[in-house]
């Protein structure tokens, strides 16, 4: 499977939106608060209006944020389908919003030039064959093989709908593939027969295309494409009380961290039940996006940087260029003792002005006239062109200090 677009993109928007958004306490409430299905249906699914649903505004925000793809929860663990499914009445066309929410979403994403992903939870707390909606964590096993088989048939039928009705979809983002077994090998092969170019994450076993890690940046081993997903505050689904926002600076730093490992960042937003995205969340995404528009060059198809940590920022690599992302001013003078190649040139990524440097025989790269303060409050980036593929000056020995 070609993962080229995925590696070119490096940054995407995750959207968690469903009946739980009405409750405004995150997406796990049915299980966490032991809310009976009938009560959940009444209070949240039926009450959900999605009255200001405007996926064009989400897609625009993603584009302005510098994101290149968008992944929507087509159904979360509550089992509520955001489309008009034949397999269940527990869906947005027949309850709550009263319409299939996906066609507009896909069209809006395409209109902004974004790749499109469908998040899909295999776990389904409201399906009669699902073992236990109210387990403390996840149910451990399928007590009844017939029920399990029926359930696999059911979710396969839902995936058939998702991947035959909305044109080409670029990504299937599985979640909650529990309890095992969920027959991921068979189901993935089936889904790929419908959409041969689809990229599938590794959460349902079988054959997959990229690895994902959650709320942490944990690069997969070399040769494996990967993505880290993160919340912008502390919650995936809308939580009215959670104002623990990451700053635009933190987002920029995260992007350099994922880029340095040749991975992607999938940053989450949890729209309000009406469909609008909270102001602070929009502002942070736009601020980080404005930085990215000034400095994007380091990102597409970034490679695994062979370097260790740096006291004032982080190094990323792409082809024959090393990018020094300065998060904090090192003062006027700074010695970078990481690059093992001869350095050909150095320039500010934003604007392209040359940066004075000289390289000593011991390999140190000396900058001695850096501006104080640095020009960019989020991160000032120096693009350092080197001879050949970037190499580390010092080889890794005993341990690697995590960055």
Binding site for ligand GLC (CB under 6 A): 16, 27-28, 175-176, 214, 229, 236
Q: Which is nearer to ligand GLC, 16 or 148 (CB)?
A: 16
Complex with ligand GLC: residue 45 or 229, whichever CB lies closer = 229
CA 21 to chain centre: 20
For residue 285, give Cα distances in angstroms to 26, 232, 267, 268, 288: 20, 9, 9, 10, 5
Nearest Cα to 50, choosing from 262, 273, 376?
A: 273
Say which residue the tokens 């999605």 belong to: 50
Q: Given the complex with ligand GLC, which of 249 and 272 has the nearer CB atom?
A: 272
Which residue, 18 or 390, has its beta carbon nearer to ligand GLC? Answer: 18
Q: How many CB atoms lie within 10 A of CB 192?
A: 18
Give the shortest CB-28-to-ligand GLC separation in angstroms. 6
Q: Smallest gap, in angstroms, from Cβ of residue 52 to ligand GLC?
A: 23
Considering beta carbons, is residue 123 or 315 the nearer one to ligand GLC?
123
Minimal distance in Å, beta carbon 68 to ligand GLC?
Answer: 19
CB of 229 to ligand GLC, least distance (A): 5
Separation of alpha carbons 152 and 184, rounded Å? 9
Question: What is the token pair recorded at 368?
Answer: 């001695």
In angstroms, the first-to-last Cα distance of the chain is 31
Which one, 246 or 325, has the nearer CB to ligand GLC?
246
Rounded CA separation 21/190 (Å): 32
CB of 208 to ligand GLC, least distance (A): 15
Compute CA distances 343 → 320, 322, 339, 354, 365, whole Å.
Answer: 10, 10, 8, 13, 8
Q: Does an H or E element contain 93, and which?
A: none
CB of 173 to ligand GLC, least distance (A): 8
């Amino acid at each position: 499977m070609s993962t080229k677009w995925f590696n070119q993109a490096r940054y995407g928007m995750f959207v968690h939106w469903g009946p739980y958004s009405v409750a405004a306490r995150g997406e796990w409430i049915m299980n966490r608060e032991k809310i009976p299905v009938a009560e959940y249906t009444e209070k949240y699914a039926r009450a959900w209006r999605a009255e200001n649903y405007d996926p064009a505004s989400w897609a625009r925000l993603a584009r302005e944020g510098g994101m290149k793809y968008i992944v929507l929860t087509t159904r979360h663990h509550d089992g509520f389908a955001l489309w008009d499914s034949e397999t269940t009445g527990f869906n947005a066309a027949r309850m709550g919003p009263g319409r299939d929410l996906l066609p507009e979403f896909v069209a809006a994403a395409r209109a902004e030039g974004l790749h499109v992903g469908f998040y899909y939870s295999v776990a389904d707390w409201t399906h009669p064959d699902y073992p236990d909606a109210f387990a403390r964590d996840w149910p451990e096993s399928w007590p009844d093989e017939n029920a399990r088989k029926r359930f696999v048939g059911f979710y396969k039928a839902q995936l058939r709908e998702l991947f035959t009705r909305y044109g080409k979809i670029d990504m299937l983002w599985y979640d909650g593939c529990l309890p095992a077994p969920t027959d991921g090998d068979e189901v993935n092969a089936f889904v790929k027969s419908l959409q041969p170019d689809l990229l599938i994450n590794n959460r349902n076993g079988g054959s997959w295309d990229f690895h994902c890690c959650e709320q942490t940046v944990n690069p997969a081993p070399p040769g494996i494409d990967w993505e880290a997903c993160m919340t912008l505050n502390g919650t995936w689904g809308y939580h009215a009380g959670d104002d623990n926002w990451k700053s635009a600076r933190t987002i920029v730093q995260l992007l350099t961290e994922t880029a340095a490992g040749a991975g992607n960042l999938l940053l989450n937003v949890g729209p309000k039940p009406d469909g609008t995205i909270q102001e602070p969340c929009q502002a942070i995404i736009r601020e980080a996006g404005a930085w990215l528009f000034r400095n994007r060059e380091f990102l597409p198809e970034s490679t695994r940087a062979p370097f260790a940590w740096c006291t004032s920022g982080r190094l990323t690599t792409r082809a024959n260029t090393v990018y020094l992302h300065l998060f904090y001013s090192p003062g006027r003078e700074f010695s970078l003792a990481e690059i093992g190649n001869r350095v050909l040139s150095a320039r500010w990524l934003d604007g392209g002005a040359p940066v004075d440097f000289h390289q000593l025989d011991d390999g140190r790269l000396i900058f001695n006239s850096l501006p104080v303060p640095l020009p960019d409050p989020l991160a000032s980036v120096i693009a350092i062109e080197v001879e050949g593929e970037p190499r580390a000056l010092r080889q890794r020995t005993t341990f690697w200090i995590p960055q």
